[in-house]
Amino acid sequence: MTTPLSTRILSVSVGCLLGLAAFSASSAELPGASGAPTPVPHPTADYLPITPDKNACVMCHRPQKEGAERAKGQIPRSHYAGERLSGERYECTLCHVSKDAQAPSYEPADPNVPLN
């Protein structure tokens, strides 16, 4: 059974919003942010980009064992569809950001100015 596209988009959107919360403050500063994606505690530049053919995160981060408590660094079973990473969870950096990530260095566009 496949999940409807609208449900998948909503799931990714909510996850990304929670990821932005993790980006703006460390998890220690967000004790009430239950369910927010954890920040990546190491630089990620060498592992990017994540493409349909390559996800370097899974070289080290292994799946949580069925029925076992998740160990630090294991990918939760909720991120899997069967034995493969779920499509909406494959691109780790959509929700998880590196603690050393920098905020964009450009000014946001004014929403009141029409695009050319």
Q: How far is CA 91 from the centre of its chain?
A: 7
Residue-wise pLDDT tens digits, 52-107: 889 999 999 999 888 899 988 899 999 999 888 898 899 998 888 887 776 656 66
- Is 79:86 a contact under the CB 8 Å cutoff? yes
d(CA 90, CA 84): 9
- Which residue type occupies 112? N
* Percentage of residues of the chain with pLDDT beyond 70: 60
Q: Is 5 left (phi over 0), alpha (psi -120 to 50) or beta?
A: alpha
Backbone angles phi, psi at 51, to 5 degrees: -125, 170
Residue spans per domain, the chain: 5-94
For residue 26, pLDDT over 70 is answered with no
Q: Of 9, 96, 105, which is closest to residue 47 (Cα–Cα)?
A: 96
